[in-house]
Chain A
């Protein structure tokens, strides 16, 4: 293997302060480094909309750069450093914070090191928001960002595939503690005080992870972090408690929920949601990863080949496995007249895997692609960040290389067992207008001579 000459990237963690832990993936392979800081809090139906509303308010401005214009100018001065908000759920943990992509100094004309300024700015954004005289968050920003979030949700109806997936996720999460997309009603009901209370949690009790991929030595990073975060994270330092989190598989419904709705779009969208007890910490995790790859994870998968290549039912049909909650979602865009045919085809392909009705050649092709996707991951700071951050949250110490080795060892029996663990929970169909909805455009012939 030619690539063996490239050194592996192995993360190392450091306790910088009682409430701040740093993990570094040291590497000089990239021109742009990635730096994130996030707090981990137990997820709940309340925290999801609150965090969703708070983060864009924080990103709107801070004491030193109190408007979006001044803040974005500052980021542009720092060679277009990207700084966006992060609000994700991993198992029962909600991660709230900021993520930045920062140019390495050796590639800049003036050789300037950007990280100290970027870290200082991140601290400002998290802990020094723009406030009213009474200490409340800027009402103008709270209302403006609320409106933008609501607009974004309402405009989804214009994008049938995205609308269908959001609607599906809402139905899939019905009756569960978390996992449902934030609603317009939840955002409307939020008070400024709710946002401020969450901010107080970040200031007074939350523990923060900093994750960095790049060439700056950990000792320098540690100094930069202490300098910028000490004033804010020294509060309650002696009572710091690092919470532990775990994946949270959800139990399936006893009978699948089936929902049919109509839209005015030309194409229809069919989405099937399955649940499994298998998560990242399960013995059959890699078998489930391989099962997903074989079912609908690639152009040689069962769904892609059978629904698209053999039956011409769709342009694409794919499955996606989420280990944090033990979910597998199959989705495709189809003609409304072919809904039954498509659904039966999806069910039959999963049934084939559950029976073990697949060839060794298919399984090896899926394995080969899955292993390759993990190799590719090591060429991207963003992908490396996502990989190691998620594992760090649930306390799994596993390098990409170990992960690849596990996939190589998955047996046919393990894969069948993983497929058999999938139980259908929700079926959503957004019916479009089909061929009638698409007005054929008459193209004028150009005079190209």
Chain B
């Protein structure tokens, strides 16, 4: 597989340039730092579509930051997401979508708590599309009119999210686990918070964070290192360097571990049947990136062993008719939060909660077998390799890995060398009652009523 690719390392080797191969998957990627300061990750792959993500290390958590000698300032909630929307607007007020469409390229963006990503999928004109992506993200053009126009669009996005009961449940659950933490807030802000955002707000934040040294570019597709570096050499000097000072974000979410948490949260919402979340706050997840990645891989296998649809817990719920088809489980482990969550829809969430503890107790008594362990390790392995068929998924993996400070293949190495005793040890230290909460959204009376009239 690997010999199908052109050589990754050329005589023009940039500082901090490294090749990361994965023989098992027949994939490799290169990581380099361009002289502009932009970090680049390239996974060459013989596919029709080239996918790319230009990532800014700026997200919803960075609401308060300082620049240079200036004191820290708090910006309105939702400004990172607003900036993501506005970045698509050119000086004449038109959207950059048209320029990409003329190339046959679709472009999109997303914002989460830690970062903002601008993504494209280019089955054709990949080089022009990459150049355009870099130019529009790094060249802001905000006007009073365009910022005002975007407000209505984002208000509708906020209303759409507010109508999602799972989102309401998630926010409630996070308030149980991490009171006052940024994760309890919506990425988009609120209708009220975005009302105060102006072009100046956006220029301030763009100038502070949208800087090559605070960004990275992930590319996967039919692209060589030489062609990519040539594009960057051509584009970056014309849009860099930037004036002004870089931001120093004043956010730290990690200290929220060890804060007291609530064991039970209940509220009412527009649901026809209760939806619930059983969540365990994991205060023991490591901080160092590779240790955290290895820990997350072990937690995935443990989670599969305990809660998968092939496991005892889910099948007891099914037999007792305590669960509908809506059921999910898994761990979230970042530098600031770590928790394991089971969520679903049930007539009796408290019975599900009881069964959760019974299952854990039984598993502690009986221990995992080598056969069960191997099966669930296979699941994690297969889930990992499935992402490597799609250039967009690979670009996403590179985005996540670079954001987390690890290699994209590190998880595979951990899965390969995992042992049952490691999983047993992790289980012994996990899922204690003190750090577990049940969060439930109950149906409001009459919420399901739909009234109407019909005309022909």
Given the complex of chains A and B, what is the CA–CA distance between A368 and B273 in angstroms?
45
Given the complex of chains A and B, what is the CA–CA distance between A369 and B99 in angstroms?
11
Contacts of A369 in B (CB 8 A): 101, 104, 106
Cβ of A31 and Cβ of B385 under 8 Å apart?
yes
Known: A69-B315, A379-B391. A365 touches B102 (CB 8 A): yes
Query: Nearest Cβ in chain B — how far from A441, in angstroms?
Result: 6
Cβ of B126 and Cβ of A2 under 8 Å apart?
yes
Cβ of B180 and Cβ of A315 under 8 Å apart?
no
Q: Indicate whether B451 reaches chain A with its CB closer than 8 angstroms.
A: yes
Interface size on B, as a range, is 35 or more
User: Which of these binds chain A: B317-325, B348-356, B360-368, B432-440?
Assistant: B317-325
Q: Indicate whether A14 reaches chain B with its CB closer than 8 angstroms.
A: no
Cβ of A266 and Cβ of B325 under 8 Å apart?
no
Cβ of B156 and Cβ of A335 under 8 Å apart?
yes
Within 8 A of A (CB), among B116-148: 121-124, 126
Within 8 A of B (CB), among A31-77: 31-32, 67-69, 72-73, 75-77
User: Which of these binds chain B: A16-24, A241-249, A257-265, A281-289?
Assistant: A257-265
Q: Indicate whether A29 reaches chain B with its CB closer than 8 angstroms.
A: yes
What string of 1s and 0s marks CB contacts (under 8 Å) between B45-84 and chain A?
Answer: 0111100000000000000100000001010010000000
Cβ of B46 and Cβ of A6 under 8 Å apart?
yes
Within 8 A of A (CB), among B215-272: 222, 250-252, 269-272
Q: Indicate whether A152 reaches chain B with its CB closer than 8 angstroms.
A: yes
Cβ of B270 and Cβ of A158 under 8 Å apart?
yes
Q: Indicate whether A132 reaches chain B with its CB closer than 8 angstroms.
A: no
Cβ of A6 and Cβ of B270 under 8 Å apart?
no
Contacts of B48 in A (CB 8 A): 3, 6, 375-376, 378-379
Contacts of B391 in A (CB 8 A): 379
Q: Indicate whether A80 reaches chain B with its CB closer than 8 angstroms.
A: yes
Which residue on A lies nearest to B149, using beta carbons?
Answer: A312
Q: Indicate whether A380 reaches chain B with its CB closer than 8 angstroms.
A: yes
Contacts of B389 in A (CB 8 A): 30-32, 380-381
Which residue on B lies nearest to A163, using beta carbons?
Answer: B450
Cβ of B77 and Cβ of A443 under 8 Å apart?
yes
Q: Indicate whether B329 reaches chain A with its CB closer than 8 angstroms.
A: no
Within 8 A of B (CB), among A146-187: 147-148, 151-152, 154-155, 157-161, 163, 167
Q: Indicate whether A223 reaches chain B with its CB closer than 8 angstroms.
A: no
Q: Indicate whether A447 reaches chain B with its CB closer than 8 angstroms.
A: yes
User: Which of these binds chain A: B30-38, B184-192, B196-204, B396-404?
Assistant: B184-192
Contacts of B376 in A (CB 8 A): 76
Within 8 A of A (CB), among B151-204: 151-154, 156-157, 159-160, 162-165, 180-182, 185, 190-193
Q: Indicate whether A413 reaches chain B with its CB closer than 8 angstroms.
A: no
Known: A76-B308, A440-B191, A448-B250. A376 touches B121 (CB 8 A): yes
Contacts of A255 in B (CB 8 A): 456
Known: A30-B389, A144-B318. A375 touches B309 (CB 8 A): no
Which residue on A lies nearest to B180, using beta carbons?
Answer: A446
Q: Indicate whether A300 reaches chain B with its CB closer than 8 angstroms.
A: yes
Which residue on A lies nearest to B77, using beta carbons?
Answer: A443
Q: Indicate whether B431 reaches chain A with its CB closer than 8 angstroms.
A: no
Given the complex of chains A and B, what is the CA–CA distance between A313 and B159 in angstroms?
12
Cβ of A72 and Cβ of B160 under 8 Å apart?
no
Given the complex of chains A and B, what is the CA–CA distance between A77 and B185 in angstroms?
40
Within 8 A of B (CB), among A116-137: none
Q: Indicate whether B205 reaches chain A with its CB closer than 8 angstroms.
A: no
Q: Indicate whether B455 reaches chain A with its CB closer than 8 angstroms.
A: yes
What string of 1s and 0s marks CB contacts (under 8 Å) between B12-53 and chain A?
Answer: 000000000000111000000000000000000011110000
Query: Nearest Cβ in chain A — how far from B150, in angstroms?
Result: 7
Contacts of B315 in A (CB 8 A): 67-69
Given the complex of chains A and B, what is the CA–CA distance between A447 and B163 in angstroms?
29
Which residue on A lies nearest to B315, using beta carbons?
Answer: A69
Cβ of B381 and Cβ of A109 under 8 Å apart?
yes
What string of 1s and 0s marks CB contacts (under 8 Å) between A1-21 and chain B?
Answer: 111011000000000000000
Cβ of B121 and Cβ of A32 under 8 Å apart?
no
Given the complex of chains A and B, what is the CA–CA distance between A287 and B237 in angstroms?
44
Q: Which of A81, A155, A447 is close to B272, meaning CB atoms less than 8 Å apart?
A: A155
Cβ of B159 and Cβ of A77 under 8 Å apart?
no
Given the complex of chains A and B, what is the CA–CA distance between A69 and B313 in angstroms?
10
Q: Indicate whether A194 reaches chain B with its CB closer than 8 angstroms.
A: no
> Other CB < 8 Å A-B pairs besides A32-B385, A80-B383, A258-B454, 12 of them?
A1-B124, A31-B25, A68-B309, A75-B310, A103-B382, A109-B24, A158-B269, A265-B270, A266-B163, A308-B153, A334-B156, A440-B191
10 contacts between A and B (CB under 8 A): A72-B308, A76-B379, A101-B386, A103-B382, A144-B321, A152-B324, A167-B450, A259-B454, A446-B181, A448-B251
